[in-house]
Homo-oligomer: A and B are copies of this chain.
Amino acid sequence: MKTETTIQGLSASLNPARSARKIIGFVPTMGNLHEGHLNLVREARKLCDVVVVSIFVNPIQFGPNEDFDNYPRTLEHDSHLLAEVGCDIVFAPSVEQMYGKYPRLTNISVGEITEDLCGLQRPGHFDGVAVVVTKLFNIVQPNFAFFGQKDYQQLAVIKQLVRDLNMPIEVIGVPIARAEDGLALSSRNGYLSEQERQTAPVIFNSLTTAADDLHAGKTLLNVLQQIRKSLTDAGLVVDYVEARSPTLQKVEQFDQDVVLFVAAKLGKTRLIDNLQVKYSA
């Protein structure tokens, strides 16, 4: 496995693969990798000849009061994990390598679906994601790109971006990896105290209960209220509990497939999760 820290170095490393028209798979990450990320790499390994993983904590997707400075940077450990699951090239550029010395003027906005859910509390977040992903796509030029369904809204935003701009890339969403007790794996889980970690599975439990209740005939409004109550009772501060269509359109009733979304603070840690609920008439 090679590690490249410059755009030029990465291009040189990828050039033989490009010349041979090999299938390039790309997994963009911010590092501090867990099984969720490794699943993305395993999926890429299955479909592609060459697997590139980027590790870049992207400053422009963090708000001024968010955890950019403290976001865990664990490149050495990440590299060991990536080598084990068959990554070919790690791309770990500096901020200067990605954003250069001159001011960036270009912004990309993916419109209304970025203003909802996490976009409400994190203005500009998805613009920052869209810009860095577009940059990374142009640098790596992959055939396939892999994103986790845990950041469901991010995945929807990237799919929309790729479609709207005719990027020659297929975006693949990979199911959420969970701990045995159901907690969705996240780099931010490392911020939780032992006690908070024991409380956190209430998020997934409330989502699965909601799915069962929907199938048993309860209303969408009712189950959303029930999720909110379960989280609040467990001591979480709810940011949102919402239902959307798979393409993030608002839904009033459970008369189609829906995705249930939760964002909540547990202590100082903001956690998100989601669950797709299939409709059958």
Binding site for B on A (CB under 8 A): 7, 19, 21, 100, 102, 104-113, 130-131, 134-135, 138-139, 141, 160-161, 163-168
Contacts and interface: CB of A to CB of B under 8 A. Distances in A.
Contacts of A130: 106
A109 B107 contact: yes
Contacts of A134: 165
B138 A106 contact: no
A19 B21 CA distance: 7
16 contacts: A7-B166, A105-B110, A105-B113, A105-B160, A106-B108, A106-B110, A106-B164, A106-B165, A107-B109, A108-B108, A131-B164, A134-B165, A138-B166, A138-B168, A139-B166, A141-B168
Q: Count the copies.
A: 2
Contacts of A135: 164-166
Contacts of A166: 7, 135, 138-139
A113 B106 CA distance: 10
A161 B135 CA distance: 11
A127 to B, nearest CB: 10
A138 B111 contact: no
Nearest to A100: B163
Contacts of A21: 19
A117 to B, nearest CB: 15
A141 B134 CA distance: 14
